[in-house]
């Protein structure tokens, strides 16, 4: 993934810290490659099941441009989308999703053959980007499971 997008995704993760939401962030790029929308996980911040980073990024953009058709846009996200988000992304007609790290637990690749799905999913990270984000996730879940080590 291009460094500028990776850095923007990493910065957006900081918005999840206060609410202790799982650190996931998403960007939507317009056809020129400009960041048109940013979203992050706010499930716990808002106590809303559907407030995943991808859906928040989609809603920010559809509200802004007053259109539900995002077929000219690309979605970048830190973690492979879950089935709910993949369904929402599909509703917007986005054709390409790029993610940094595979989600073995919730990622859609476990539920569908990657060749049968559209929009296309593409893992798009350098080994260093993957390591960096994986470490953020591991640290988050380590703290969650062992809160006594937070201090």
Q: Assign residue 89 a region: left if phi > 0, alpha if psi is -120 to 50, beta otherwise?
A: alpha
Residues 6+ apart with CB under 8 A from 101: 78, 79, 80, 123, 125, 130, 133, 134, 137
Residue nearest to Zn ion (CB): 85
- Kindly write out the interface string for residues 49-78 of this chain, putting x where it contacts Zn ion by CB under 5 A and - elsewhere: ---x--------------------------
d(CA 145, CA 143) in angstroms, rounded, equals 5
Residue 1 or 21 with smaller CB distance to Zn ion: 21
Residue 49 or 148 with smaller CB distance to Zn ion: 49
The answer to whether 85 contacts Zn ion (rule: CB under 5 A) is yes
The answer to whether 108 contacts Zn ion (rule: CB under 5 A) is no
The answer to whether 101 contacts Zn ion (rule: CB under 5 A) is no
- What are the C-alpha distances in Å from 129 to residues 86, 137, 149? 22, 13, 26
The answer to whether 43 contacts Zn ion (rule: CB under 5 A) is no
Q: Which helix (DSSP H) or strand (DSSP E) does residue 9 occupy?
A: helix 3-13
Compute the least distance from the CB of residue 88 to Zn ion, in Å.
Answer: 8
With CB under 5 A as the rule, give the number of residues binding Zn ion: 3
Q: Checking DSSP bridges between strand 74-79 and strand 25-29, what pairing results, if any?
A: antiparallel
Compute the least distance from the CB of residue 24 to Zn ion, in Å.
Answer: 8
The two three-digit tokens of residue 91, written as one number: 């509703």
Question: Could you tell me which stretch among 43-51, 58-66, 82-90, 96-104 binds Zn ion (CB under 5 A)?
Answer: 82-90
Binding-site ranges for Zn ion (CB under 5 A): 52, 82, 85
């Amino acid at each position: 993934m291009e460094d500028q997008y990776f850095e923007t995704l990493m910065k957006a993760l900081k918005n999840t810290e206060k609410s202790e939401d799982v650190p996931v962030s998403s960007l939507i790029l317009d056809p020129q490659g400009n960041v048109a929308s940013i979203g992050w996980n706010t499930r716990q911040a808002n106590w809303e099941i559907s407030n995943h980073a991808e859906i928040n990024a989609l809603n920010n953009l559809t509200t802004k441009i007053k259109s539900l058709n995002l077929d000219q846009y690309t979605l970048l996200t830190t973690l492979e989308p879950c089935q709910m988000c993949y369904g929402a992304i599909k509703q917007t007609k986005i054709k390409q999703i790029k993610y940094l790290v595979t989600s073995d637990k919730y990622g859609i690749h476990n539920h569908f053959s990657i060749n049968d799905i559209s929009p296309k999913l593409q893992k798009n990270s350098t080994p260093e980007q993957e390591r960096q984000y994986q470490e953020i996730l591991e640290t988050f879940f380590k703290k969650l499971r062992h809160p006594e080590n937070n201090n």
